């Protein structure tokens, strides 16, 4: 296992559409282990492979509360099959947009199909935080960031702030 570097806005790779995983092999399992280590260290509750600069359709997630045992979940090639018309709003943040949080409205419930680490097809119906996190991470796989769901004014401010920070660190 190894910690990977999380890429940060305005890194253009965050806008890439990730490639499907063809087979769940040792390389995929090693990436998943690295992603969990990176996600827990950050700390975060979800991570898409593109956030560690690997454009593959893989998501790791753990929504366990601080004092509860870890509950790691892996979603390979996740795809939203259905989403409710009813919406819910959560304050979202992102490891690739550190220290910025904003209310985002999304469908309150979703049904997602995916492949697990054993290569088996699965489906999950989700609501609440799980539904929000699945949509947030699947967005990453499609090159979409949670700031794309907020007002243009707020989004432009965030982009400008992160562009300035990136410019300072490269000078």
User: Can you give the pTM of this predicted structure?
Assistant: 0.95
Burial class (CB in 10 A: 0-12, 13-18, 19+), 74: buried
pLDDT at 169: 73
Q: What domains are defined for the chain?
A: 12-170 (3.90.45.10)
One of 27, 79, 137, 171 is an active-site residue; which one? 137
Stretch 65-79: mean pLDDT: 95
Contact residues for 119 (Cβ-Cβ < 8 A; gap 6+): 23, 24
| Mean pLDDT, the chain, integer | 96
CA distance 102 to 51: 19
pLDDT at 171: 65
| Residue 91 designated active-site | no
Beta strand ranges found along 49-149 (DSSP E): 58-61, 73-83, 87-94, 97-107, 109-115, 121-127
CA distance 41 to 107: 29
Sign of CA dihedral 19, 108, 121, 65: positive
* Sole residue written with tokens 């097809």: 121
pLDDT tens track for 2-24? 999 999 999 999 999 999 999 99
pLDDT tens track for 96-140? 999 999 999 999 999 999 999 999 999 999 999 999 999 999 999
């Amino acid at each position: 296992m190894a910690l990977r570097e999380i890429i940060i806005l305005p890194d253009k790779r965050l806008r890439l559409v990730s490639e499907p995983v063809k087979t769940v092999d040792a390389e995929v399992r090693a990436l998943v282990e690295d992603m969990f280590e990176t996600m827990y260290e950050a700390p975060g509750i979800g991570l898409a492979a593109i956030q560690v600069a690997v454009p593959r359709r893989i998501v790791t997630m753990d929504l366990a509360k601080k004092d509860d045992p870890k509950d790691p979940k892996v979603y390979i090639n996740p795809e939203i099959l259905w989403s409710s018309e009813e919406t819910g709003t959560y304050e979202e943040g992102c490891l690739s947009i550190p220290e910025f949080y904003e209310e985002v409205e999304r469908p309150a419930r979703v049904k997602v199909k995916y492949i697990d680490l054993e290569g088996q097809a699965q489906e999950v119906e989700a609501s609440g935080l799980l539904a929000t996190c699945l949509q947030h991470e699947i967005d990453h796989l499609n090159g979409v960031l949670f700031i794309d769901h907020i007002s243009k004014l707020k989004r432009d401010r965030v982009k400008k702030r992160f562009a300035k920070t990136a410019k300072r660190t490269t000078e």
